[in-house]
Amino acid sequence: MEMIAPFLLSLAATPLSLAPVPDAVTNDMSDFCVPFMRASETVETMRSQMLLKGLKTGAGNELFHGELKVQVAESRDGLRTCSISTSQTFAVTLAAVQRWPNIYTLTQLQNEPGFHRWEGTRYFLSVTETDDSRTVVTFTKKRG
């Protein structure tokens, strides 16, 4: 019995240590990009929400927190994009995106070195490795 108690205590603590650590990229995906793909949100309302959550303004419509750069844009013809740029490696960012709960609702279209792309009902999602050693996660709203 004396041996069982320490084992049970260590076993009870194990799931906490195996739980995935929240990732800033996937948090921003859920907090900013997914809502921006809805018609009710505008660039202005998303910027306001980002500022309320502590992001700092940058050039144009860029906002920052830590090393992440988040950008939302809508073209004159209604094309909406939300991108998150990070200095995390492509492999680390891709792994985080693949753990994102909503990824299971998307269909993978491309799986190439340095570029992965999925399609959902309302948007396309891509993870791209850039020439300057950054990784960019981009949501693009579907037309129609």
pTM reported for the whole predicted model: 0.81
**Is residue 62 domain-resident?**
yes
pLDDT, tens digit, 9 for 90 and up, residues 14-48: 344 444 445 889 999 999 999 999 878 889 999 99
Q: What pLDDT is recorded for position 3?
A: 53
**Is residue 3 domain-resident?**
no
17 contact partners, CB below 8 Å, separation of at least 6: none
pLDDT, tens digit, 9 for 90 and up, residues 126-139: 999 999 989 999 99
Q: What pLDDT is recorded for position 2?
A: 55
pLDDT at 100 over 90: yes
**Is residue 10 domain-resident?**
no
Range of the domain at 49: 22-141
pLDDT, tens digit, 9 for 90 and up, residues 49-96: 999 999 999 887 789 988 899 999 999 888 999 999 999 999 999 999
Q: Which residue has the tokens 């998307």?
A: 106
**Is residue 42 domain-resident?**
yes
The total domain count for the chain is 1
To 10 degrees, the CA torsion angle through 58, 70, 112, 95?
130
Q: What pLDDT is recorded for position 12?
A: 42
